[in-house]
């Protein structure tokens, strides 16, 4: 089967799928089906529990890196860096609110 025929088949199948599901796309009434889930998740990510978990992640990542960064493999250094970065990202709102005149954006 040639590449042109595969592309044509994929486009045809996508078109049929979209046309068949048009009524389902129109049901939303202006809001996505996942809006309530996203609002709840936003509250969880910016709440006090998330701030506490982010502080723990920042401190744990910093301690692991400070005491063991010479003996860690590259993959473990990457995991610790991701832990450290996620702690900063999740706790950015609470961390910035500690400084007078600054406020973080709510997710």
Evaluate whether residue 79 is within a structural domain. Answer: yes
Evaluate whether residue 62 is within a structural domain. Answer: yes
Extract the runs of DSSP E, i.e. beta strands, from the chain: none
Evaluate whether residue 84 is within a structural domain. Answer: yes
Evaluate whether residue 8 is within a structural domain. Answer: no
Evaluate whether residue 3 is within a structural domain. Answer: no
Which pLDDT tens digits describe the chain residue by residue (107 residues)? Answer: 677 888 888 888 888 887 777 766 665 555 666 777 777 777 776 777 777 888 888 888 888 888 887 788 888 888 888 888 888 877 776 666 677 776 655 55
Nearest to 93 by CA among 79, 77, 104, 101: 104
**Considering the entire predicted model, what is its pTM?**
0.48
The pair of three-digit structure tokens given for residue 5, joined into one six-digit string: 């025929």
Cβ–Cβ under 8 Å, residues 58 and 84: yes
Evaluate whether residue 2 is within a structural domain. Answer: no
The number of folded domains in the chain is 1
Evaluate whether residue 67 is within a structural domain. Answer: yes
Domain that residue 88 falls in: 32-96
Evaluate whether residue 48 is within a structural domain. Answer: yes
């Amino acid at each position: 089967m040639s590449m042109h025929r595969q592309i044509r088949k994929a486009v045809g199948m996508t078109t049929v799928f979209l046309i068949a599901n048009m009524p389902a796309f129109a049901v939303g009434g202006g809001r996505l089906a996942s809006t309530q889930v996203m609002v709840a998740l936003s509250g969880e990510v910016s709440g006090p529990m998330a701030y506490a978990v982010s502080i723990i992640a920042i401190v744990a990542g910093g301690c692991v890196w400070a005491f063991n960064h010479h003996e860690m493999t590259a993959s473990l250094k990457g995991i610790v860096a991701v832990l450290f970065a996620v702690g900063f990202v999740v706790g950015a709102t609470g961390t910035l609110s500690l400084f007078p005149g600054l406020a973080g954006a709510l997710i």
